[in-house]
Structure 1
Amino acid sequence: MVFSGPELNINLESDHLVMHGRANESSGCVLRGVLNIHLKQSMKIKSVTLIFSGTIQTSWKQPTGNGHERRIQQERSLITHRWPFISPTYDKTHVLTAGDHTYDFELPLTGDLPETGNVANYYNVHYQLEAIIQRSHFLPNYECQRVVYVTRQLNSTPSYSSLIEPISVDNQWSNKLYYDISIPSKLFHHGDVIPVAINFIPLVRGLKISHLNCTFKEYATCGPVDGLFDGRSKSHSKILYYTRNNQPAKGKVTDSSDSNGNPVTTSNDDDDNGAPWCLNLAVPIPKALDEIQCDTSGGVVHIRHQLKFVLTMARRSGRLTELHAVLPIIIQAKPNGLLPTYNQCDGNQTYPYDPALMVRLLRRNQQQQQQNHISRSPQEDEMQQPSSSIDHTALATTSIQASQSNEITSNLDNHPSHHSILSSSSHSPLASDNPPISSASRLPTYDEVHCH
């Protein structure tokens, strides 16, 4: 008989936590989630532990004289918290029966914790959750990790209305060329696309536009705090997107793709003073949090983003000239949802966080995923990526149904301890059949609902 190992998953309400305000004024945030263990058959274990840890790593080269250098590396622990869901006992094992075993957890994080940040080869702040199933005797343990991102939004940043207003740069270059580069907003989120509208109009004869380079860059700088980096700031930049577009022939309108496969629309009309050029670009923003960082200007790390344009022109004499333009871009965490109105924060319309509801939804999602896996073809299954985030829309409807039937209390203070074990789904009262979930509402987080 071949033993099948457990399926170990760390499901979070959100793996991107946002702290508002500087370190000395922020109220912090809350990390919430559920550890789920699925067993196809019973297993003997010694303990089940979940660990949340945060570390800061710094590295730089310091001159020692005579042209020699030495590399200095430091690592410091920022936070460590343990949840002993099943505590180890001396010379004794526990038996986990087949089925689902779920353990909810919650941890308030103080506002003075540094945000997740990375300046390549110099500075790195990293947070993660690690679940460990310790097995008996000399058998190997089962482990699972999940990265948690912590970002900070300062209260001194411009208002939201000013960030979503269109911005543009337009001018005349030496009375020879008029240019206009605009975007509909300065604020964007992970996975968005930046639409850029560009117009070039030559004002003199003999001036020919050759090509345009567009670069989306991230700049990260860390300061010499507490004597780090030998008293000097360290910087690093990386290119997130790059494209080059050549001007088409006169009088042609083309719909094509750039060097990265993104759609580009260009138009070129004949003109006595030269060939004007209208260009529309679609600049993609990476979806993954580890590929692009949020803008920040407080603390040790300063992160900013820019769209840089370089236009190359040829004069009548054949001399090449470059025109440079820059547009600032602000990357922020995508909001979880809108704040409820005052009338919605009354009676049964409030949606407080309840770990039991999360467990209920997770089990239902697992059943739906299993049914979808059976009904999908192998090609569709490869394209479908599993999601470990919590569906707030379904959870909100479950919360309403639970509050109306008085099956689950909406007061978190009366909920059992977070270290309690929720037994197998076959014996849990939460595993009963439920009506279909509507997609009309969503469960706000604690940061969004301030009345319970």
Structure 2
Amino acid sequence: MFGRNSLSIHLENNHIILRGTSQESAGYVLRGFLLLQIHQPTRIKSIELNFIGQALIQDLLIKLIPLETKPYKRTIVEKNWCFTGDSASESEEPRIYQKGKYEYHFEMPLHGNIPQSIHTPKGNISYQFKAIARKSGFRTSLECDCSVHVERSFGPLPTDLETSLIRTGDVQGQMKFSVALPCCNFTTGQQIPIMLGIRPLSRGIKVFKVNIRLKETVRYRTFFEDWSDTHEERIDETSCIWRPKVSGWWEQPLVLKIPKGQSSVRADNKSRYIHLWHFIEVQINLVDLTRKKRYLTVQIPIHIFSEKLIESEEALPVYEATPVQPPDYLSSVRQIADISGHPSVLTY
């Protein structure tokens, strides 16, 4: 029984982390090979590989031009390979590939200023390889694809003690409040512990409930090279009922949860196409003596990073193996002694 022919893309690394800003980063060289496995003699006209990075944003309503909406699409980077000479043409004679494995190696330098990968409901920045082995006649060609994820690191993350965050305030001299976070940098799948404090200063205002929300905010580049309206999404929420005391601070620990899946929450991302950030919203619900409800809202910006980025910061750097072994130490010392006419002496 004959097996099926196959085509596949193999990369050294499909999750790339660029170090530094777009001006500082040295970029990255993507390396890999295309594997064609033939199980029975097959006529193939061409073997082609394409790499493309694109920014694609859906139709977005614009306040100034509400009736005109167009998608925003830009090609960031693109490269094509043809491993059988020139690209396929009708006059080109197909080549018969015998049973076996055929590897086609390639590399693709990426500039350090390319934007990070991101996928949102209204837009995405993606990088992808697509390969095709075109057969002769009407036979089905072999095709495959492989995605590449790009992230950016701006250096080691600060320690928790350096980034602990406390917000305080008062409401017309009638109430004081405080919101404390252990840090402002978090990872997908992590919990955010929050300490809420309230101290009443008079009987003119009463707190009856506090809502705390984790929100994700996105803005998109539009067809007219302008920024869209802000799109907010609630990621998680918790609340507590205020239990008054005669005097002193009333404190309540609360916890928000950051989901782990990319479909639920995305890491912070900023480029000329998409800007995504996060913040914690604290809403204190108040009632005055006339029973009129009032709301005090405090927004605290935080940063959310992917687990892959955190792991890369904690791991040791990866070095490529040198193709040539270094010379033996003793032979090197003898060569130096012969050249100088004197024995080598090591000093410290």
Given the two structures, how large is their TM-score scaled by the length of structure 2? 0.70
TM-fit CA distance, 1:199: 1.9
Alpha carbons 1:50, 1:84 under 8 Å: kept: yes
After superposition, the C-alpha distances for 1:379-416 in whole angstroms (9 at most, x for unaligned) are xxxxxxxxxxxxxxxxxxxxxxxxxxxxxxx33699xx
* 1:49 aligned partner: 48
* 1:187 aligned partner: 185
Larger radius of gyration: 2
Alpha carbons 1:54, 1:128 under 8 Å: kept: yes
- Matched position secondary structure for 2:245: coil
- Matched position secondary structure for 1:325: strand
Residues in 1 aligned to 2:114 and 2:246: alpha-carbon distance in whole angstroms? 62
* 2:319 aligned partner: 352
The alpha-carbon distance between structure 1 residues 7 and 94, as it changes in their structure 2 partners (threshold 3 A), is: closer
The alpha-carbon distance between structure 1 residues 325 and 16, as it changes in their structure 2 partners (threshold 3 A), is: farther
1:329 maps to which of 291, 294, 302: 302
The alpha-carbon distance between structure 1 residues 309 and 412, as it changes in their structure 2 partners (threshold 3 A), is: farther
Alpha carbons 2:7, 2:142 under 8 Å: kept: no
* 2:195 aligned partner: 198
* 1:82 aligned partner: 80
Query: Does 2:108 match 1:107?
Result: yes
| Aligned residues: CA RMSD | 4.2
* 1:219 aligned partner: 218
TM-fit CA distance, 1:324: 0.9
Q: What is the correspondence of 1:357-396 to structure 2 with a 5 Å cutoff?
A: none
Given the two structures, how large is their TM-score scaled by the length of structure 1? 0.56
Alpha carbons 1:213, 1:245 under 8 Å: kept: yes
Amino acid at match of 1:197: I
Alpha carbons 2:7, 2:34 under 8 Å: kept: no
Give the structure with the larger helix fraction: 1
Query: Does 2:278 match 1:279?
Result: no
- Percent of pairs with identical residues: 16
Residues in 1 aligned to 2:70 and 2:232: alpha-carbon distance in whole angstroms? 24
- Matched position secondary structure for 1:111: coil
Residues in 2 aligned to 1:244 and 1:63: alpha-carbon distance in whole angstroms? 34
1:94 maps to which of 97, 108, 111: 97
Alpha carbons 1:63, 1:69 under 8 Å: kept: no
Residues in 2 aligned to 1:70 and 1:201: alpha-carbon distance in whole angstroms? 49
**Unaligned stretches of 5+ residues in structure 1:** 251-269, 342-350, 354-409, 415-452
* 1:234 aligned partner: 228
Alpha carbons 2:49, 2:131 under 8 Å: kept: yes
* 1:15 aligned partner: 15
Query: Does 2:168 match 1:174?
Result: no
Residues in 1 aligned to 2:63 and 2:70: alpha-carbon distance in whole angstroms? 10
Query: Does 2:332 match 1:411?
Result: no
Residues in 1 aligned to 2:11 and 2:144: alpha-carbon distance in whole angstroms? 11
Give the structure with the larger strand fraction: 2
After superposition, the C-alpha distances for 1:57-116 in whole angstroms (9 at most, x for unaligned) are 46567899xx9844445644332223445667722221343xx76655432112343444
Residues in 2 aligned to 1:208 and 1:114: alpha-carbon distance in whole angstroms? 45
Residues in 1 aligned to 2:255 and 2:234: alpha-carbon distance in whole angstroms? 15
Alpha carbons 1:217, 1:239 under 8 Å: kept: yes
Amino acid at match of 1:109: L
TM-fit CA distance, 1:143: 2.5
Q: What is the correspondence of 1:225-304 to structure 2 with a 5 Å cutoff?
A: 229=224, 232-239=226-233, 241-247=235-241, 271-272=245-246, 276-288=250-262, 291-296=265-270, 299=272, 301-304=274-277
Q: What is the correspondence of 1:35-46 to structure 2 with a 5 Å cutoff?
A: 35=34, 41-42=39-40, 44=42, 46=44
Residues in 1 aligned to 2:151 and 2:160: alpha-carbon distance in whole angstroms? 21
Q: What is the correspondence of 1:135-146 to structure 2 with a 5 Å cutoff?
A: 135-146=135-146
After superposition, the C-alpha distances for 1:304-350 in whole angstroms (9 at most, x for unaligned) are 22121212233454322212111111234514245759xxxxxxxxx
* 1:253 aligned partner: none
Alpha carbons 1:179, 1:200 under 8 Å: kept: yes
- Matched position secondary structure for 1:113: coil
After superposition, the C-alpha distances for 1:133-158 in whole angstroms (9 at most, x for unaligned) are 33343222232223323344568xx9
* 1:398 aligned partner: none
**Unaligned stretches of 5+ residues in structure 2:** 326-348
Amino acid at match of 1:108: P
The alpha-carbon distance between structure 1 residues 62 and 245, as it changes in their structure 2 partners (threshold 3 A), is: closer
* 2:345 aligned partner: none
TM-fit CA distance, 1:128: 1.1
